[in-house]
Structure 1
C-alpha cells in the first residue's frame, strides 16, 4: 500500500496533467475554501448571523458534528445531511439549517463524483433519474420558501426507512435486479429531490439504489452525481430566485464544508481499506435504522399531537 506522501504526490501529478478525477476533487475543495475566505464576516460576526444563544463552544460542537458526518458520508456514500440536519435544526432555525446545510453536501458530492470517477456516461444512462430529481428539487425549494410543512415530511421518511431496513434484514441483503426500473427510478428521483429541498433529508434514493447495486464505487458515484445536480440547482435557486441564501448563510455553509472535508478524507480512507462488501451492507442498513429511529423520536410526538388534535 502506498504511503500518504506518495498518494499526495500522485494526486498533485495527476492534477497538473488535468485529469478529470483530480480536477473535480480539487475544484470542490477550493470552491468552499474561497467562499470561506472571501465572505468571512469577522470574528465578531461568526455567530451573530445565526441567532442569539449560539455561543462559540456550541458553534464548535456543530463543527465537530459536521466533521463526523463527513466521515460517515465518505465511508458509506450518504448520511451527511441526515446526521447534521436534525442536530443543527435543534439549535438554530430549521429553515436556516436546511439552507446552510446545502453547501457542504454540494462540496462532498462533487468531490465524490471525481473520487469515484463517475462521469457523463452515468448521466446518459440514468437521465430520467437525474432529470426528475432536478424537477423535485425545484418544486421543493419553492415549497420551502413559502410553506411550513412541519414534522410530517421527516416523519414519513422515518417510516419508509425502517420498512426498508426490515426488508433488507429479512431478505439477508438480497440484490433485486428488477428494482432498476426506469419508472420506479424516476419516481424515487423525484421524491429524493423534493425531500432534499424541503427537509434536507434524502435517504430514499440511497435505500432504493441499495436494493440492486452492491458495487461500492458505482453506488457512491451514482448517488453523488444525482446529489450534485440536486444541490447545485438548490443553491442557484435559493441564491437568485428566493431570499433564503444570504451572504452570511453562504459563508457559514462554506465554512462548514471546509471542516467537513477533514471528515470526508478520513471516511474515504476507511472505505478503501477497511470495509468489505458485507460490512458495507451492514453499515448502510445500520445507518438507515439509526436515522429512521431518530427522525421518529423527534417528529413522532408532534405528528401524534396533530392527529389527536384533529379529532
Structure 2
C-alpha cells in the first residue's frame, strides 16, 4: 500500500506555503484555526474548568492529553479512529453530551489537515457528490436529534454491534477486498448514516468500514474519508454554534485546546504512515483497533442497558 514520499522537508513546506500551494495552505490553515481559537477564546485561568461539570484534576487532564495524542496518532496512521477512541473515554469522565460537542472540533482540524496532506480536492467532490450531499444531510438531522433528545447508551451499543460484525466479517473472509465494486447508492447510504451517527454520538464506523472493504489505495482511502468527515464536522460545528445552544464559546475553546494537543499525535502518526505502509499489517491494525473499540463500547453500554 504505497504512500507519497516519506522525506520530511520543512524548508520545502514553507516554500510551498509562501507560494500558496493548496496542500500546504490547507494543512496550515487547519492548524492555525485551532491555535487561534485556543488563544482568542481563552476564558481566563480562573475559568479553565468551569464548564466541564466534573471533578477535573491534574490526573484527569493528563489522561485527556494522553488520549488526545494517542487518538491523533491513530487517525494520522489509519485515516479514522480519533472519535472512536477519544469519545468513549472522555464521555466516561465528563458529561457525554459535552464530550460529543467538544470533540467535534479536533476531528474537524484533523480532517481538514488530511484533506491537504493527501492532496484531495474538487476531483473527489465531483466523483462522489451524492456521498458528500447525503453525509451533510445526515449531520444536520443528527445535530437536531442531539439538541432535542438524549439517545442514552442504545446508539453506542448498536454501533458496537456494527463494529464487531465488521471485524468478524473481515477475519472470516481473510480481509476480503472487493476492488472497484462499491455501489453509489450503498456508499451514499453509508455516508448518510455516518453523518447522523457522528452528530448524535461522535461514533461513526460505517464509512471507514465501507472504504476499508472497497478501497485499498492509502491516499484515496484517507483523503476520501477526510473529505466526507471534514464536511460532516463543519456542518456540525456551524449548526451547533448558530442554531442550537450546544456549542458555547467555552466549549469551542476547550475543543480548540484538545485539537492543539491532538496535533502532536497527528503529525507523529502521519510520519509513521509515510515511513512504511504494509497492507497486511494495515489490515490487522484496523481490525484490531475496531475490535478493542467495540469491547470498550460494550463495557460502557451493556451494564447500563441490561444489568
TM-score tier, shorter chain, comes to: over 0.9
The aligned counterpart of 1:268 is 270
Whether the 8 Å contact between 1:179 and 1:211 is mirrored in structure 2 is no
The aligned counterpart of 1:131 is 133
TM-score scaled by structure 2?
Answer: 0.96
Q: Distance in 2 between matches of 1:233 and 1:248?
A: 19
Q: Distance in 2 between matches of 1:287 and 1:65?
A: 14
The aligned counterpart of 2:143 is 141
The aligned counterpart of 1:294 is 296
Whether the 8 Å contact between 2:132 and 2:228 is mirrored in structure 1 is yes
Q: What SS does the corresponding residue of 1:92 show, helix, strand or coil?
A: coil
Q: How far did residue 179 of structure 1 move?
A: 4.5
**Alignment size in residue pairs:** 303
Whether the 8 Å contact between 1:67 and 1:262 is mirrored in structure 2 is yes
The aligned counterpart of 2:248 is 246
State whether structure 2 residue 123 is matched by structure 1 residue 95: no
The aligned counterpart of 1:308 is none
1:237 aligned residue (233, 236, 239): 239
Whether the 8 Å contact between 1:116 and 1:217 is mirrored in structure 2 is yes
Whether the 8 Å contact between 1:47 and 1:59 is mirrored in structure 2 is no
Q: How far did residue 178 of structure 1 move?
A: 6.2
Q: Distance in 2 between matches of 1:9 and 1:171?
A: 45
Q: What SS does the corresponding residue of 2:83 show, helix, strand or coil?
A: helix
The aligned counterpart of 2:282 is 280
| 1:1-311 to 2 correspondences below 5 Å | 4=8, 7-177=9-179, 179-305=181-307
Q: How far did residue 279 of structure 1 move?
A: 1.1
Q: What SS does the corresponding residue of 1:177 show, helix, strand or coil?
A: coil
Q: Distance in 2 between matches of 1:177 and 1:130?
A: 21
Whether the 8 Å contact between 2:27 and 2:114 is mirrored in structure 1 is yes
Whether the 8 Å contact between 1:133 and 1:190 is mirrored in structure 2 is yes
Q: Which runs of 4+ in 1 moved over 3 A?
A: 1-4
- Inter-CA distance 3–169: structure 2 relative to 1 (3 Å threshold): closer
Q: Which runs of 5+ in 1 are unaligned?
A: 306-311
Aligned Cα RMSD in Å? 1.3
Q: How far did residue 3 of structure 1 move?
A: 6.4
Which one is further off, 269-278 or 69-78? Answer: 269-278
Whether the 8 Å contact between 2:6 and 2:275 is mirrored in structure 1 is no
